[in-house]
Amino acid sequence: MSRKFFIGGNWKMNGDVAFVKSHVNFINDTEIPANTEVVIAPPYIYLDSVRKHLKKEVGVSAQNSYTKSSGAYTGEISPEQLKDLGIEWVILGHSERREIFKESDEFVGEKVAHALATGVKVIACVGEKLEEREANLTEEVVFRQLRAIADRIKDWTHVVIAYEPVWAIGTGKVATPTQAQQVHIALRDWLRNNVSAHVADHTRIIYGGSVNGKNCRDLSSEGDIDGFLVGGACLKPEFSDIVRTKAHL
């Protein structure tokens, strides 16, 4: 099954006006392979500017959204507001949201369902902590996180699953291609057994966790790794190398 390679760039809480201008120009000058989809996620306050100045073939994502359309929810952003700005994507369930802001599996599932119902596509993150991996609980954890989403949605057309082992995010530690592939296979099998064969075959499962210009090709060689959600490296010139991981095909 051919799935279009997906590169997401999560800026997190980084950047200023000058950086936004220079980095958008840099991405605009980067050639995007025909077999690759690229989506970048700047901080909320720069979303409108990025979308207006970024070439249309590159998607723009928010880093979070809420479960309601509007209301007295100080500091939150709704998918409806994202759509109003022409923002196509949102990242939900990132481990930093789960850990720092105590978002539960169920809350993440609710946010995914609301975003999709609004017409905003979702990069849904799952991943285990180091102690969970060492206790052989990786599959139990990621299946639990995926179940909370699957219980609330029926159409997976606009969902990309990002497997991000918490122990590899921003640490410089990277899951080996074999380790990542094993979890990606497990996630795809879970979809096959709990949702449908069609969803398992067509849903892109991407890897995140200290991806850079040096390790991206080895990781991409695995058959079930359909791309990357890139953190720190997406703010650097090497992001163009990651974007062109599959340019040789």
Domain boundaries of the chain, sorted by first residue: 5-243
Helices (H), the chain: 17-28, 47-53, 79-84, 95-100, 105-118, 130-134, 138-150, 177-194, 197-202, 216-220, 239-243
Annotated catalytic residue: which of 103, 132, 164, 222? 164
Q: Is the pLDDT of residue 249 over 60?
A: no
Q: Is there a catalytic annotation at residue 164? A: yes
CA distance 11 to 234: 7
Which residues, 6 or more positions from 118, have their beta carbon under 8 angstroms from its beta carbon? 69, 78, 79, 80, 82, 83
Calculate the CA 75 to chain-centre distance: 22
Question: Model pTM greater than 0.85?
Answer: yes
Supply the pLDDT for residue 231. Answer: 95
Note the pLDDT tens digit of each residue in 110-169.
999 999 999 999 999 999 999 999 899 999 999 999 999 999 999 999 999 999 999 887
Mean per-residue pLDDT, 32-46? 97
Pick the CATH number of 5-243 from 3.40.50.720, 1.10.10.60, 3.20.20.70, 3.30.70.3040: 3.20.20.70
Note the pLDDT tens digit of each residue in 42-63.
999 999 999 999 999 999 999 9
Note the pLDDT tens digit of each residue in 162-201.
999 998 877 777 789 999 999 999 999 999 999 999 999 9
Q: Is the pLDDT of residue 80 over 60?
A: yes
